[in-house]
Amino acid sequence: MSSREHRDGREHTPGGGRLLMGVAWALLLLGLWLWGREVTDIRQGTSSPTTGDMAAVGRPLGVQLPPAAEPLRGARPQLVEIPALDVRAPVVTRGLDPRGAVEAPPYGRPGTVGWYGGGVRPGAPGTALLVGHVDTETGPAVFYHLSEVRPGAAVRVTREDGTVAEFTVEDVQVFARDRFDAQQVYGVRQSGRAELRLITCGGSFDRDSRTYTANVVVSAYLSGSDR
């Protein structure tokens, strides 16, 4: 059988697979971009988040980060811990809603983190996405202090295979809602690495539109693992 034919005998162009993958990736980025806008459409809680209208923290000079570790086999996340913020939260799998946007965790579970199950599993090559609310009508939520984490901080993800994927934060950025860059937020920073994004609402709360003006995005990469 030639390389230009499927098993059913129909002609196949060599670039067709790449084209379909490109289209699928573009559609995914579109859906995630919609989520990046939609996730800010949450109800303000009883207390104000600490994110404020802050500038990107980035990576301060002089911060020494460990080398990246070899990626792991894929496994579903069960628990995420950010010791510097006293965060220890269960992880639930989320998909896309009918509009193509990623579903945020339920409002009734403010201490829960959502993982986009249609994407990369934490520890595997590529970018895994973890999302959480900054607050709800009842008060602060799981990522209320996310903007306070600093480069070099640890993020530990316990996975269903018993391994704990250990990530190191490399930068913290705030993206204005009207300038949300899906490729920059969700795309891979360095090819071949296992990367992680933790995302929540940020900026200030617009009472007229009842939305936050930005998203806080923490970028981390796999730097070790443990059983």
pLDDT of residue 96: 79
Q: Is residue 3 one of the residues assigned to a domain?
A: no
d(CA 15, CA 141): 46
Into how many domains does the chain fold? 1
Classify residue 90: in a domain, yes or no: yes
**Integer Cα distance of 29 and 184 in angstroms:** 10
Would you say 219 and 195 are in contact if contact means Cβ atoms under 8 Å apart? yes
pLDDT at 209: 66
pLDDT of residue 171: 94
Whether 82 is in a domain gets the answer yes
Nearest residue to 219 (alpha-carbon basis) of 142, 139, 130: 130
What are φ and ψ of residue 65, in 5° steps?
Answer: -105, 145
Would you say residue 5 lies in a domain?
no
Do 50 and 206 form a contact (C-beta atoms < 8 A)? no
Tell me the C-alpha distance between 224 and 54, whole Å: 31
Position 189 scores a pLDDT of 93
163-213 pLDDT per residue, tens = 999 999 999 999 887 777 778 888 999 999 999 999 988 877 767 666 777
What range does the domain containing 52 cover?
Answer: 16-226
Q: Assess if residue 42 is contained within a domain.
A: yes
The predicted structure's pLDDT at residue 201: 84
In this structure, are residues 84 and 154 in contact, taking their beta carbons and an 8 Å threshold? yes
pLDDT of residue 63: 77
pLDDT in tens, 135-155: 888 889 999 999 999 999 999
47-67 average pLDDT score: 56
Q: Which pLDDT does position 54 carry in this prediction?
A: 38
* Domain CATH for 216: 2.40.260.10
Average pLDDT for residues 90-110, to the nearest whole number?
83
| 2 domain residue, yes or no | no
- Residue 113 resides in a domain: yes
Q: Which residue has the higher pLDDT, 71 or 33?
A: 71
For residue 226, pLDDT beyond 90: yes
pLDDT at position 69, please? 98
| pTM of this structure | 0.75
- Give the pLDDT score at 21: 36
pLDDT at 129: 93
| 7 in any annotated domain | no
pLDDT in tens, 12-54: 434 444 433 333 344 444 455 444 444 433 333 333 343 333 3
